[in-house]
Amino acid sequence: MSLRNVAIIAHVDHGKTTLVDQLFRQSGTFRDNQRVEERAMDSNDLEKERGITILAKCTSVEWHGTHINIVDTPGHADFGAEVERILSMVDGVILLVDAAEGPMPQTKFVTGKALALGLKPIVVVNKIDRPDGRPAEVLDEVFELFLSLEANDEQLDFPTLYASGRAGYAGRSDDVRSGDLSPLFETIVDHIGAPDADPDGPFKMLATLLDRDNFVGRVLTGRIASGKLKINMPIKAIDDEGKIVEEGRATKIMAFRGLERVPVDEAGAGDIVAIAGLTKATVSNSIVEPAVTEPLHAQKIDPPTLAMTFTVNDSPMAGREGSKVTSRMIRDRLEREAEGNVSFKITESAEKDSFEVAGRGELQLGVLIETMRREGFELTISRPRVLFRDGPEGREEPYEQVVVDVDDEYSGTVVEKMAQRKAEMTDMRPSGGGKTRITFSGPSRGLIGYHGEFLSDTRGTGIMNRMFERYGPHKGKIEGRQNGVLISNGSGETVTYALGPLEQRGILMVGSGEPVYEGMIIGENAKPEDLEVNPMKSKQLTNFRASGGKDDAIRLTPPKRLTLEQAIAYIADDELVEVTPKSIRLRKRHLDPHERKKASRQKDTA
């Protein structure tokens, strides 16, 4: 049986996972009467909620005697390390672009990686049935993108298909509105060659993905570069310098059949398989037979650009909602995460019971924190900060390319806000339908927490996409939050009688009858300075009756509840987010007011 390995790359929400579902259905991977979840590939709870692909997944379909391994890759640049490794397993890519939106920043990010590896592209213009589709212009934009990414002549001579993933058809002209996905299957078989692997050489495989299985333990996935792997065969893992990491046996070999991993007795060169039996080997190690000493080349990974401090929850409410609260549990969990995700770097911080976690972006770190809180962890999280480095001309910081699509009326506000964040506009053009597409280049530091404000400024209609661009010169001070906060001056339960007058001071983040503690942030002050308040002050009980109906019930405005990402972006340097399985609370780093004043004085004199 012939073999093809292909990855699907696309921008977030361009229909990649939906198209893969249709490939499954039409190749007979799913029975007609089988109940399959919509978007079967996005299996993780967070993926379903956010509507994005976070983890790369391998699947396969059979088409007229050809076994096609399909890898669904994340479209978001924060998960770029995942994408870079995945591309080393395939021989070609299907680039999926929306017929209306065209190529977007993350399309550019992943496509650039694919073209640099010399992979052959197939371009699929998806959602061809959209009423605002502009397929001819989108195809020109793709060609321009390939030219800007220095594609070679063979890559520029790409086949183009027009499709509707949801309706399940594809064709070679842009007026196609019916049929099935046969043209796509045929193009994959004809255009993307069989894997360039040596069936007669010694066994070699580069570990690309790592996960754990409750029954067989550590599972490493990768493509066999040469030779054959048989069950119980002796193997060893070597690092990129050729040093032995460990030796063992292939206790289980699993191949991909549809969405399942199926045990097989042997696998040959070019196939993508998962192996169990090693306990220390990790991503980017070469898995080889004992006689081999030369490692396989592993793809270089972009450095982390953002770091946060994860600390044990030490608030007065610690341990009430979570089951995993010790620093040992947090350390083990973070080390396990870094093992499978090479873009994370975990180090012990100088502070007691705290860990420095460096990653590629806010979304990636936010997903990790959300996953941990669902597993029962309690943590306190610091404000994200960018990682600087020393360059030839002094201190350098990470820059991002930001592409926004906004209604024309909001473009002025967005340009002004981005300028405040030290971003420079590099391009501005109409994108049809009364919208403008603006491209900026600016320091990551200024963009932390801007997304929520951007949505408010554009009344929820704007689309923003960010991508790591380069390290550049330090841009100096960037103004942070303008307002101070309201801080509880004691512990207890909030009272409506006390919250009523506090509403005039600013925006409350707690409602009536909620537990609070000293040093906890309960709202945003209307003025720039912080204000300590008493949200538990109750009415004095006397025998005197108020005149004129003053005792009427106080009606409170519903409190402003921040999501995890909003909370992380909102806090200042002297504040923390307390994260538990049930609650997200904001607090001052120093709960005691005297400690706060002391720390503030030390900062001023430093």
> Binding site for GTP: which residues?
13-18, 126-129
Contact residues for 601 (Cβ-Cβ < 8 A; gap 6+): none
Strands 229-230 and 266-267: antiparallel
Q: Which residue has the tokens 């106080």?
A: 554
Element (H, E) at 321: none
CA contacts within 13 A on the Cβ side of 48: 8
Q: How far apart are the C-alpha atoms of 186 and 410, rounded to whole Å?
A: 45
Q: How far apart are the C-alpha atoms of 275 and 280, rounded to whole Å?
A: 13
Contact predicate 279/260, CB 8 Å: no
Q: Which residue has the tokens 């926004």?
A: 404
Distances (CA, A) of 96 to 78, 88, 125, 398: 19, 19, 6, 28
Distances (CA, A) of 595 to 522, 598, 604: 19, 5, 14
Reduced to 3 states, what is the DSSP secondary structure of residue 300?
coil
Query: What DSSP string runs through 321-339?
Result: S-SB-SHHHHHHHHHHHHH
Lookup: tokens for 307: 């770091």
Lookup: tokens for 89: 């397993």
**Bridge partners, residue 102, by sequence:** 98
Binding site members: 13-18, 126-129
- H-type alpha helices, 179-244: 182-191
